[in-house]
Amino acid sequence: MTVLTVPALLAGLTTLQAQSKAASEYEIKAAFLYNFAKFVEWPPTAFTDPKQPMGICIFGQDPFGHTLEDSLLGKTVGDHPVLLGHAKQIADLAGCQIIFLSSSDAPRLREVLGRVQKQHALFVGESEGFASAGGTIQFVLDQNRVRFVINPDAAERAGLKINSKLLALATIVHDPPRPPEARN
């Protein structure tokens, strides 16, 4: 990414927060999902080849309808064409670089995290406490605006590096401290 594109991308992210009321909550979340990919660095092992598609996958019920599919059509992130996937089972998440966990499947958060942690996936959700429970990015509604919370500890566990400019736009949370007996 060149230095000239970073301000333009950031302007796009902040503009999403100021969109008119005509844009639905899920249209804005779809745009955020795509833009998050531009501000995250995956380790080389996250892709089997330099032009492998970037998988954005919905686990569980899809609250986006056709909105996410329409917004991703023909998009790329670097040399990676973006593909949308839908998963009903955890095994279906193989090959996904971004995983969106719908609020209907929030009770399965720990199970899904435990099974995909070594996959180097950006884990995004919208249920309350998602980021502090181990998710990477959580969507929140604040005064009818879509905002987001980032857990950098979760990103680090997944081997992901989040650009500091994206972190500056987010509310930051960390994993809760572990009891001394669990630190060993």
Residues written for the chain: 184
Residues 53 and 180: beta-carbon distance below 8 Å? no
Position 113 confidence tier, pLDDT thresholds 50, 70, 90:
confident
| pLDDT tens per residue, range 37-84 | 999 999 988 898 888 999 999 999 999 999 999 999 999 999 999 999
- Residue 147: CB atoms within 10 Å: 16
If one looks up domain 5-172 in CATH, what number appears?
Answer: 3.40.50
Q: What is the rounded average pLDDT of the residues 160-172?
A: 97
Percentage of the residues of the chain whose pLDDT score is greater than 90: 65
The pLDDT of residue 114: 85
In 3D space, the residue among 36, 50, 42, 35 whose CA is nearest the CA of residue 159 turns out to be 42
> In the chain, where are the structural domains located?
5-172
pLDDT(20) > 80:
no
Q: Structure tokens of 169?
A: 């736009």
- Residue 132: CB atoms within 10 Å: 16
Sequence letter at residue 117 = Q
CA neighbours closer than 13 Å in the CB half-sphere of residue 78:
16
Position 184 confidence tier, pLDDT thresholds 50, 70, 90:
low
